[in-house]
Amino acid sequence: MTLTLLIDLDDTLLTNPLESFMPAYIKLLSDYLAPFVPASRMVPQLLYATDKMISKDLPAKTLEETFDADFYASLGLIKNDLVEPLDTFYTQNFQKLQSVTKQKPEALRIVEYAVSKKHTIVVATNPLFPQKAIQSRLAWAGFPPDNTPFQFITSYENMHFAKPNPAYYAEILGLLGWPLQPFCMIGNSLTDDILPASSLGMPGFLVDGKDSDLPENIAQGSRAGTLDKVIPWLDELEGKTHESEIKSIPGILAILKTTPVVMDTLTKNLSDTDWKVKPTPSEWSILETICHIFDVEKEINIPRFEKILSNEDPFLVGIDSDIWVNQRNYNETRTPFCLTKFLKLRLTFLKILNSLSSADWQRTVRHSIFGPTSLLELAIFIIRHEQDHIRQVYKALK
């Protein structure tokens, strides 16, 4: 059985003490940008815009767009004027920071082993840097960009959430088509890597930690130790039945936050014709799938949750929403703009969910198909439904 392996970069794949690296990086960047803006103004704004990326909790905008909105204009700068200078900085000046770092032979062995086992490998670094800066650090770690074993590398250009938000991990898994094979996380931070991944049922390996550092409610199969213990741990995971069913509220919210942006990223290069292609006559097109999710959100999810929150133990009638695809003729009557409308509607749904108390999540419901259930169980059903449709879209794109 193959695994989907998420692995952190700094102090996991590469020895890079951030207490040394970050001051050196900020000094290097501020000196380089001095002809454009004084360091006394640039550095505080850089830190502020970075904090905005870290605290971002809604799906609209990539991290790059979030950073840009809080950095350039506030300093009286125009981004386009700095594209070429910053490209030069990361290509040339940034390389001076390699001296702060050191390769980890054990990390190289882990990746080589994972490749030999045909595992899917993702570089799950905190995506607060441009792709160029991350590619450089990977090269310093022994993974040059012209020979990369990684299926995906997170950066501020391609992600909408940062660590320690569980949505960061949900977005990665969504972009991989919510793989059915086991997935796991390797990182050196309990708070940034292991705990948020665990909320999605993902076992983690805490690098240079102790098993006693791991809380009791951590995902089953999680371990801690030195990097030389990772390969036996991967073999252990590979040999076990992996149960990653998501039942935690943070995990549920993470998936609901990421479904719209995962769909947007997966489909952003489609032509008008591609949207309407049916893989087989009996399967849905990508347009039909996304219009279905939008109508379910509008006519089932939001009205149901509003009813549950305003009534005691309400009765809900099951609705066959699959028949809407043909009844409403999505392929001929809708456009890809439906995805934009879905994102706006999802923000409304998230506002409702973010206001819930612990007691609200346990509100009881009588459902014509499921029988006695709860608001929490209905939310779990919604995320399973959306995971299935992401898999459907991912498969269609392949």
Q: Does the pLDDT of residue 314 top 60, yes or no? A: yes
pLDDT, position 1: 83
* Domain end (from 42, 71, 99): 99
More confident residue, 323 or 244: 323
Residue 15 forms beta bridges with which residues? 102
pLDDT, position 241: 61
For residues 136 and 268, state if they share a domain: no
User: For 289-298, what is the mean pLDDT?
Assistant: 98
For residues 340 and 364, state if they share a domain: yes
162: in domain: yes
Q: Does the pLDDT of residue 105 top 70, yes or no? A: yes
- Element holding 27 (H helix, E strand): helix 18-32
Q: Rounded to whole angstroms, how far apart are CA atoms 138 and 123? A: 9
CATH number for 213: 3.40.50.1000
For residues 82 and 191, state if they share a domain: no
For residues 120 and 231, state if they share a domain: yes
For residues 161 and 297, state if they share a domain: no
Residue reference for tokens 């014509």: 368
- Dihedral pair phi/psi, residue 229, rounded to 5°: -95, -5
For residues 286 and 222, state if they share a domain: no
**pLDDT grade for 349, boundaries at 50, 70 and 90:** very high
pLDDT, position 239: 76
Q: Rounded to whole angstroms, how far apart are CA atoms 231 and 110? A: 6
For residues 320 and 275, state if they share a domain: yes
pLDDT, position 245: 76
pLDDT, position 246: 87
pLDDT, position 242: 60
Contact 237, 219 (CB under 8 A): no
For residues 280 and 231, state if they share a domain: no
Q: Rounded to whole angstroms, how far apart are CA atoms 31 and 305? A: 53
- The CA distances from residue 190 to 72, 205, 231, 277, in Å, are 33, 9, 19, 44
For residues 255 and 130, state if they share a domain: no
Question: Quick one: which of 132, 133, 130, 106 has its CA closest to 7?
Answer: 106
329: in domain: yes
Residue reference for tokens 């300093």: 75
299: in domain: yes
Q: Does the pLDDT of residue 396 top 60, yes or no? A: yes
Count of domains in the chain?
A: 3
For residues 197 and 107, state if they share a domain: yes
For residues 93 and 107, state if they share a domain: no
Contacts of 145 (CB under 8 A, 6+ apart): 135, 138, 139
pLDDT, position 238: 87
Structure tokens at 358: 């612990």
- Element holding 135 (H helix, E strand): helix 131-140
What 3-state class would DSSP assign to 204? strand
Q: Rounded to whole angstroms, how far apart are CA atoms 398 and 396? A: 5
Q: Does the pLDDT of residue 383 top 90, yes or no? A: yes
pLDDT tens, position by position, 236-261? 998 776 656 788 999 999 999 999 99
Residue reference for tokens 């950066």: 155
What 3-state class would DSSP assign to 177? coil
Quick check: pTM over 0.95?
A: yes
78: in domain: yes
pLDDT tens, position by position, 129-188? 999 999 999 999 999 998 899 999 999 999 999 999 999 999 999 999 999 989 999 999
359: in domain: yes
Domain residue limits at 27: 17-99
The chain-wide mean pLDDT, for the chain, equals 96
Question: Quick one: which of 213, 14, 119 has its CA closest to 223?
Answer: 213
Using a 10 angstrom Cβ sphere, with 0-12 exposed, 13-18 middle and 19 or more buried, the burial of residue 180 is exposed
* Domain end (from 80, 99, 118): 99
More confident residue, 213 or 240: 213
244: in domain: no
CATH number for 387: 1.20.120.450
* Domain end (from 238, 270, 289): 238
As a whole number of Å, the end-to-end CA separation of the chain is: 21
User: For 70-99, what is the mean pLDDT?
Assistant: 97
% of the chain with per-residue pLDDT over 70: 99
pLDDT, position 284: 97
For residues 285 and 184, state if they share a domain: no
243: in domain: no
